[in-house]
Structure 1
Amino acid sequence: MLLISNGHGEDLIALKIIEALRNQRPQLTLKVLPLVGKGGSFRTATEQGWVQQIGPSAPLPSGGFSNQSLRGLLADVIAGLPLLTWQQWRCLRKQRFQVDAVLAVGDLLPLLMAWGSGRPFGFVGTPKSDYTWRSGPGRDLSDKYHALKGSEWDPWEWLLMRHKRCHLVVTRDRLTARGLRRHGVRAEAPGNPMMDGLSNATAPASLSRCRRILLLCGSRIPEAERNFSRLLLGLTPLPSDRPIAVLVALGSTPGLPALGAELKRQGFRSSPPPSEALQAGACWLKGHVLVLLGPGQLEH
């Protein structure tokens, strides 16, 4: 089986799926084709030899968000996106007779790649949710467009999902799956694989009296830094009869220096960490709000 993914989060979801497949079918040969970035999430699995990474890979300036802005698209084009995509497509066409099935994780590009392989395929649609237009103000043109369609996904995507070789469509929530089913797509929403493997843990004694809030700002630059700034602004005015501990789970990016600069701008001061497990520069304090930065914790 070949899994195609197009982004850091999508790589992590694909990794969770292939870990489950390996547990159930250890004899299954698993291959991955990351379309964005170097596929770092698969490094341990490939080094251990139970996953094979194929195709060319390269980091992109937009981090996979070239469809979000003209500037991001131009930056990716200049960095060689068209040639990279063409090379990945050629690799897929060469590999199509060596795999029995393809699973695409992401949006239109991996879905199109899976369809173009000519093999039976499935699709895990990660970036789109009908909650974005059904639960919001619904005033902008994008919301009106999605309301007219009755789905965040577009007609050309429905067409690919309805193809006779597409045997599985999974969405991030039931509302989105219901919207797709109205357009003839047999969509399901069993849950997000990124949540698999999470377990309960006892809070450190130093935080036991705090009201604890988990903050997830993402991992793509510069979006993650903007998310961190906005989420932090929304948290600091919260009244509380107890101290508030904001636990920030981070990937390899953004880094501590960038977040530290933003914390300082919002009036926080660096503080000695309450635990020896935390590195210097990871603990910040402002009034009754304690912010703890956890690099590498987004993947755990």
Structure 2
Amino acid sequence: MQLLCISNGHGEDVIAVRILQELNASPDAPELAALPLVGEGAAYRQLDIPIVGPVQTMPSGGFIYMEGRHLLRDVQSGLLKLTWAQLKAVRRWAKRGGVILAVGDIVPLLFAWLSGAPYVFVGTAKSEYYLRDEAGWLPNRKRREGWAGSVYLPWERWLMSRKRCNAVFPRDKLTTEILQKWSIPALDLGNPMMDGIEPEQPEPIFYEPDAEQKEMQRPLIVALLPGSRMPEAYQNWQKIALAANGLLDAYKQRSVVFLGAIAPALSLDPLQETLIGYGWLQQPLEAIDVNLKLNDPSAIAFTQKNGILILTQDDYTLCLLKADCSIAMAGTATEQFVGLGKPAIAIPGMGPQYTPAFAEAQTRLLGPSLILVEQPDRVAQVLQQLLRDPDRLQLIADNGRRRMGQSGAARRIADCLMERFEK
């Protein structure tokens, strides 16, 4: 079997590669190829998967839907010409008789349908949680949203209900149940976004009977998630650093450890400059007395008052697992953190991704697990109230795991895909 994977974004590429890795491990592994519609497909290249069409990084970084000016810049940079060339490449490939795995939103789904080949769709961009939860429609959704009866619009559902669409893998159980009402072959196999992130303990320490006493005897660990795109992440870091300093003032009688999970593509220099400007002093990592079992020898440590702050570009998963809560201005990272059953506090940024509109939509997607504050100086007060409320923390834990699902989805999707296409 030959399989072409079409995806449209860095996060979608990563999810796609997880599924392709599982397919590669199958006894009858298909011949794999890929076409990233956004960016240059670094995730595919690392796995040595051939790319069958033209690729190009656009000024918007894939966030053209955020503002019209980003779309205009992309068009001026050759977006329409690139899209047409990519579509022709997909149609040429489909004539070989293979199948297509579309990962992302309507764009790769439309490409899959236009190819003429059989296809499956992994829907990463949309969830019914944007519009409703298990109790019904959300009162704070926009008036124009939900008119079609689903977060997926009629033309998207039409593409998913075609005979050549062998399966649809939504990101959560609620979305699966809604799509099944339209006779769409939707299956709830989990969200590959959570693959490889296994919690060390089933319940956070907050919920033990002597939780308050134990809490004061150990450091409070906070993950800092500024996002992965330049220069937006540097702007986000300014707000995050201000919020971190506020936490030091709020927890003067307790140690606070901040774990900055920084994307490898970012330079640490602007982040360090910001920290030094806020009074942090750089220290040798080996001089820091914190038992975190870091794997990153190039991590950078800072201290101030009762706080320790570590910047790492190679211990992302460890940061998520060790932290009790996070200050988050990111997309995928925030969702993964919440999926571990932990609370995240978000501050709207300047964009192009983490705008006030994006942050508000993300609070609907993640429900009570994500708490939105308007200004960095509000983070400390919100966190103090949160950690004093074990019932709310239990609600957050259950909610996050339900909305994001269990690890292992890529393996389940790959097995299903092989079974369906082998038939």
The residue aligned with 1:177 is: 176
CA distance in 1, matches of 2:238, 2:177: 34
Aligned to 2:89: 91
CA 1:26 to 1:273, structure 2 compared with 1: closer, same or farther past 3 Å? farther
Aligned to 1:154: 153
Letter of the 2:106 partner, please give it: L
1:110 counterpart (103, 108, 111): 108
The match for 1:251 among 247, 263, 274 is: 263
- Structure 1's consecutive aligned runs of 4 or more residues displaced over 6 angstroms after TM superposition are none
Q: How far apart are the structure 2 equivalents of 1:71 and 1:231? A: 27
Output the CA distance in 1 between the equivalents of 2:316 and 2:246.
Answer: 25
Kept after mapping to 2: 8 A contact 1:251/1:297: no
One-letter amino acid matched to 1:131:
Y
How far does residue 97 in structure 1 lie from its aligned partner after superposition?
2.0
Partner SS for 1:292: strand
TM-score, normalisation: structure 1? 0.82
Unaligned runs of 5+ in 2: 202-216, 288-295, 319-423
User: Comparing both chains, which one has the higher relative contact order based on Cα–Cα distances under 8 Å and sequence gaps of 6 or more?
Assistant: 2
Greater share of helix: 2
2:162 match: 163
Shift of 1:262: 4.3
Q: What displacement does 1:237 show?
A: 4.3
> For the pair shown, which has the larger CA radius of gyration, 1 or 2?
2
Would the aligned equivalents of 2:129 and 2:174 in 1 still touch at CA under 8 Å? Answer: yes
- Evaluate the alpha carbon distance shift between residue 134 and residue 223 of structure 1 in structure 2; reply closer, same or farther with a 3 A threshold: farther
Given candidates 208, 211, 217, the residue that maps to 2:220 is 211
- Deviation of 1:162 after TM superposition, in Å, equals 1.2
Deviations along 1:139-162, one digit per CA (max 9) or x if unpaired, are 4xx622223334322221111111
Q: Is the 8 A contact 1:126 1:171 kept in 2?
A: yes
Relative to structure 1, is the Cα distance of residues 76 and 27 closer, same or farther in structure 2, using a 3 angstrom cutoff?
Answer: same
Q: Aligned AA for 1:118? A: G
1:287–1:159 distance in 2 versus 1, CA, 3 Å:
farther
State the secondary structure of the residue aligned to 1:187.
Answer: coil
Counterpart CA distance in 1 for 2:114 and 2:24 is 26
TM-fit CA distance, 1:273? 4.4
Residue equivalent to 1:18: 20
Listed as ranges, the matches of 1:114-133 within 5 Å are 114-133=112-131
Match of 2:308 in 1: 290
In the alignment, the residues of structure 2 paired with residue 37 and residue 30 of structure 1 have an alpha-carbon distance, to the nearest angstrom, of 19
Identity, in percent, stands at 37
Give 5+ residue unaligned stretches, structure 1: 203-207
Number of the residue aligned with 2:285: 274
Match of 2:351 in 1: none
**Structure 1 pair 283/169, CA: closer, same or farther in 2 (3 Å)?**
same
TM-superposed deviation, 1:224? 3.9
Return closer, same or farther for 1:234/1:128 CA change in 2, 3 Å cut-off: farther
TM-fit CA distance, 1:226: 5.0
Q: Secondary structure at 2:47's aligned position in 1?
A: helix
Code of the residue aligned with 1:212 in structure 2: it is I
Query: Residues 25, 273 of structure 1: CA spacing in aligned structure 2 closer, same or farther, 3 A cutoff?
Result: farther
How many residues end up aligned between the 2 structures? 287
Contact (CA 8 Å) 2:6, 2:102: kept in 1 or not?
Answer: yes
Q: CA RMSD in A?
A: 3.0
Q: Counterpart of 1:279 in structure 2: which amino acid?
A: S
Q: Quick one: structure 1 residues 235 and 153, their matched pair in 2 at CA, closer, same or farther if it must change by over 3 Å?
A: farther
State the one-letter code of the partner of 1:167: N
Distance 1:297-1:70 versus aligned 2 partners, 3 A rule: farther
